[in-house]
Amino acid sequence: MRPPSFAVLLFALLSSLFGRPFLCRSHELQQRSSSSPAPLSIAPAGNWEGIDGTWNTYAVRVGTPETVVRLFVSTAGYQTWVIEPNGCSSLSQQDCDSDRGNDFAYNQSSTWKNQGTYELFIEQNLGLDGSTDIGQFGYDVVGLEYDGSGGPTLQNQIVGAIATDDYYYGLFGINPAPTNWSNFSDPSPSYVTSLKDADLIPSVSWAYTGGAQYR
């Protein structure tokens, strides 16, 4: 079943709703010229998935050669988290794909740039303080939507490979906050910020709906 057409991820929606800014000059409103790019609309993967309900996932292409994984959107997260093979060690590959959105073997990607092992800290309010959940982090190629769909592809994006069951599906973070590996002097931008820096979206604002299978 295909999800309803309204279930999409929109980047820089606010700029499309409120239009171009205006300048006031000589008591007259004049439209300011702008070459800002159009907002980016990302369609869901077409699956209803999850272990606590049925929600939209989004297809994300990771690594070289590309591996397609299906991720939930995280409004708190600012990185891309994918399930690594150890997270599917008790599952067949078919069940890993259907139950956890597929896995990504980061050590088989020729473009993976390892950064090390770090704790997962985005859900302290849910009791997940990161002390027992860790991920292998690095930089790699990350693209949105299935191959051939026209979604953007960016190099050197932060990817966390996780095996914990606390996050049963991987997450695509749309928070524009940067990642600081060891200090605050050289932060790495989020995917949304990288889209803005590449002039692919007009701002880092976004809108998202998880969809509803019964609608």
Amino acid of residue 21: P
In whole angstroms, what is the distance from residue 95 CA to residue 112 CA? 26
Q: Which of 215, 168, 184, 206 is nearest to 75 (CA)?
A: 206
Domains and CATH numbers, the chain: 9-208 (2.40.70.10)
Please tell me the predicted confidence (pLDDT) of residue 156.
Answer: 98
Helix, strand, coil percentages for the chain (3-state, nearest 5): 15, 35, 50
Against a cut of 0.85, is the pTM above it? no
How would residue 215 be classed by pLDDT, with cut points 50, 70 and 90? low
Please tell me the predicted confidence (pLDDT) of residue 150.
Answer: 92
Q: What is the mean pLDDT of residues 180-207?
A: 92
Instruction: Express each pLDDT in 164-187 by its tens digit.
Output: 888 889 999 999 999 998 877 789
